[in-house]
């Protein structure tokens, strides 16, 4: 089976075959077609090599920002490769009016249902004719018709589209689903085994993906001909539009999200990253027994010294302070042998030998060695004298206590209509004594599950929040799109008594189903499944 990649282009590529080049012979008459065929062959081979060996995406720069003061979308200079394998250079900063685009869009009434609130900023390759020169002509031609462009200049267009560019190449969808996602999941499972040499199934999985499962192969395009859609996504732009005055539409709440844009890393970057990661992951040789400890001056060690950690130098040093001694629970295979539990390395004047710790404990311990008691964890007091069955250590009001943790649902959510969801808070179930005050978009984010990485989420609301009953609210989103994620910020969700839900949970040792923290903000995520018809 052969593959023919005919690529129409403004430069006259129609009808030329990228697999052919001119065979120069003495006496061969050369015309316009021969020179164009030669150029076409070399250009298409370059493009094929780029997209087949490297892929496509942003190579450098092309940052996107929005200036609300001037209503300008700003694209910084940069370099990219489009899905057809063509280099696109943006040499200077480019700007465009978002409001102007929206007004023009509304005037043409291109989409029924009004102006979209999500646009996709794309970079598209093109070429233009330039450098006009005189050409032979007869006396009947005008001055304009007697000139022709002597050059074709590589150029580009920046477009705002209502729909995102299609995923092409390795990340394109196939009849069997997302083959790249499946391959990554398989490799994770195979590489999680730390044994060496690596599982031969890794090589087999990669071989199968290249030979049979790559999306282009499944689509009958094993020669990797240029795809139809070649515009490159730079950013997704979310915004609102005030349409109260049709003659003066106002754009508000603009957000720029470039997390979905494809990027293309250089081979050198991957090489340097691989070398550094490999250096960090060199496995230690576990066949040797402990014979010496670096950074310890044994010559100055005194009889009875132990190894203790010095926070100032970051090293284990020999000293008499036994409050942070290095215990030998697992260091039984030493040259002296026979170390017992809770023993440490003690210097007897000649050698380091196992020995017992004695004297008063310090730090987070109280009492005396060899039987100290835990008084604190990282200086936070422990107050758990009589724990009960199934109790856990909980950090409450500045101390660790023994208590049974409370795992509660934050809310039950049910779809009411295409765009409306009923949220019922039940944070103090089953009595439900705690009442949630009115909340707004600062305390809730509604995201739609998507198939587009890396976040796989797209924000769809809320657009409004209305109280229905005590602890029952109606939340409206922009579009019917399930499944959804409702993410509540516990520090922004207020109760009727003025406290936050986070403060109430901390005070009552409660933890909510789906609760997580990024280090600065506590959130709870509630999943809403696909609505079943009927």
Task: State pLDDT tens for residues 300-337.
Answer: 555 556 655 555 655 555 666 554 444 444 443 334 44
CA distance 222 to 219: 8
Q: What is the mean pLDDT of residues 215-235?
A: 85
pLDDT digits (tens, 9 = 90+) for 153-201: 888 999 888 888 888 888 887 777 777 777 777 777 766 665 555 567 7
In the prediction, which pLDDT does 525 show? 94
Per-residue pLDDT for 369 more than 70?
yes
Percent of the chain exceeding pLDDT 90 equals 18
In the prediction, which pLDDT does 350 show? 66
In the prediction, which pLDDT does 209 show? 78
CA distance 262 to 454: 10
Residues 322 and 360: beta-carbon distance below 8 Å: no
CA distance 86 to 47: 6
User: 406-528 is classed in which CATH architecture?
Assistant: Sandwich (2.60)
Half-sphere exposure of 72 (CA within 13 A, CB side): 10
Per-residue pLDDT for 245 more than 70?
no
Task: Kindly write down the DSSP assignment for every residue of 184-231, as one continuous string.
Answer: HHHHHHHHT---SSPPHHHHHHHHHIIIIISHHHHTT-TT-PPPS---
User: What is the band of 64 on the pLDDT scale with cuts at 50, 70, 90?
Assistant: very high
Question: How do 72-75 and 64-67 pair as beta strands?
Answer: antiparallel
In the prediction, which pLDDT does 173 show? 79
Per-residue pLDDT for 292 more than 60?
no
R_g over Cα of the chain: 34
Q: Full-prediction pTM beyond 0.75?
A: no
In the prediction, which pLDDT does 357 show? 67
Segments making up each domain of the chain, as ranges? 1-134+147-172+219-283, 298-377, 406-528
Residues 461 and 478: beta-carbon distance below 8 Å: yes
List b or e across 87-117, with b for residues whose CB sees 16 or more CB atoms inside 10 angstroms.
Answer: ebebeeebeeebbebbbebbeeeeeeeebbb
Per-residue pLDDT for 429 more than 80?
no
Q: What is the mean pLDDT of residues 61-82?
A: 91
In the prediction, which pLDDT does 23 show? 87
In the prediction, which pLDDT does 291 show? 35
User: What is the band of 530 on the pLDDT scale with cuts at 50, 70, 90?
Assistant: confident
Least confident of 133-142, 177-186, 214-223: 133-142
Per-residue pLDDT for 10 more than 60?
no
Q: What is the mean pLDDT of residues 244-273?
A: 81
Per-residue pLDDT for 6 more than 80?
no
Looking at per-residue pLDDT, the higher value among 456 and 344 belongs to: 456
Question: How do 522-528 and 147-161 pair as beta strands?
Answer: unpaired
Residues 6+ apart with CB under 8 A from 252: 239, 240, 241, 242
In the prediction, which pLDDT does 123 show? 93
Least confident of 283-297, 396-410, 493-507: 283-297
Q: What is the mean pLDDT of residues 354-363?
A: 74
CA distance 170 to 452: 13
């Amino acid at each position: 089976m052969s593959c023919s990649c005919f690529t129409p282009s403004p430069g006259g590529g129609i009808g030329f075959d990228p697999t052919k080049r001119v065979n120069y012979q003495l006496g061969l008459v050369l015309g316009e077609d021969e020179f164009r065929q030669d150029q076409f062959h070399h250009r298409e081979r370059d493009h094929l090599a780029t997209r087949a060996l490297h892929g496509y995406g942003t190579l450098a720069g092309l940052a996107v920002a929005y200036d609300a003061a001037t209503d300008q979308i700003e694209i910084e200079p940069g370099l990219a490769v489009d899905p057809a394998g063509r280099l696109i250079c943006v040499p200077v900063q480019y700007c465009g009016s978002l409001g102007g685009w929206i007004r023009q869009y509304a005037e043409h009434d291109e989409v029924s249902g009004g102006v979209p609130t999500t646009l996709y900023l794309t970079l598209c390759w093109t070429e233009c004719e330039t450098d006009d020169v005189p050409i032979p002509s007869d006396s009947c031609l005008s001055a304009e018709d007697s000139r022709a462009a002597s050059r074709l200049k590589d150029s580009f267009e920046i477009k705002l589209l209502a729909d995102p560019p299609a995923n092409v190449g390795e990340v394109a969808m196939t009849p069997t689903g997302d083959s790249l996602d499946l391959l990554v999941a398989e490799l994770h499972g195979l590489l999680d085994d730390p044994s060496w040499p690596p599982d031969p199934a890794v090589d087999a999985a990669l071989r199968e993906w290249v030979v049979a499962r790559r999306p282009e192969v499944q689509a009958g395009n094993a020669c990797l001909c240029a795809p139809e859609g070649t515009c490159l996504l730079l950013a997704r732009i979310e915004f609102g539009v005030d349409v109260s005055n049709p003659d003066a539409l106002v754009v508000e709440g603009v957000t720029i999200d470039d997390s979905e844009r494809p990027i293309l890393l250089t081979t050198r970057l991957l090489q340097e990253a691989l070398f550094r990661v490999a250096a960090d992951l060199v496995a230690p040789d576990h066949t040797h027994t402990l014979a010496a400890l670096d950074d310890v001056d044994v010559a100055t060690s005194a009889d009875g010294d132990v190894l203790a950690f010095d926070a100032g130098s970051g090293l284990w040093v020999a000293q008499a302070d036994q409050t942070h001694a290095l215990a030998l629970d697992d260091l039984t295979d030493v040259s002296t042998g026979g170390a017992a539990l809770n023993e440490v390395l003690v210097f007897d004047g000649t050698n380091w030998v196992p020995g017992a710790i004695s004297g008063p404990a310090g730090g987070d311990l109280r009492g005396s060695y060899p039987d100290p008691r835990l008084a604190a964890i990282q200086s936070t007091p422990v107050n758990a004298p009589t724990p009960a069955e199934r109790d856990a250590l909980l950090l409450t009001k500045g101390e660790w206590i023994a208590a049974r943790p409370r795992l509660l649902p934050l809310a039950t959510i049910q779809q009411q209509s295409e765009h409306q969801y009923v949220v019922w808070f039940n944070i103090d179930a089953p009595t439900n004594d705690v009442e949630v005050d009115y909340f707004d978009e600062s305390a809730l984010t509604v995201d739609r599950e998507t198939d587009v990485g890396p976040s796989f989420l797209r924000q769809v609301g809320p657009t409004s929040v209305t109280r229905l009953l005590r602890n029952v609210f109606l939340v409206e989103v922009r579009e019917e799109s399930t499944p959804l994620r409702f993410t509540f910020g516990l520090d922004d969700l207020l109760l009727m008594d003025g406290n936050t839900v986070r403060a109430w949970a901390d005070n009552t040792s409660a933890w909510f189903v789906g609760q997580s923290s990024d280090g600065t903000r506590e959130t709870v995520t509630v999943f809403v499944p696909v609505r079943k018809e009927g």
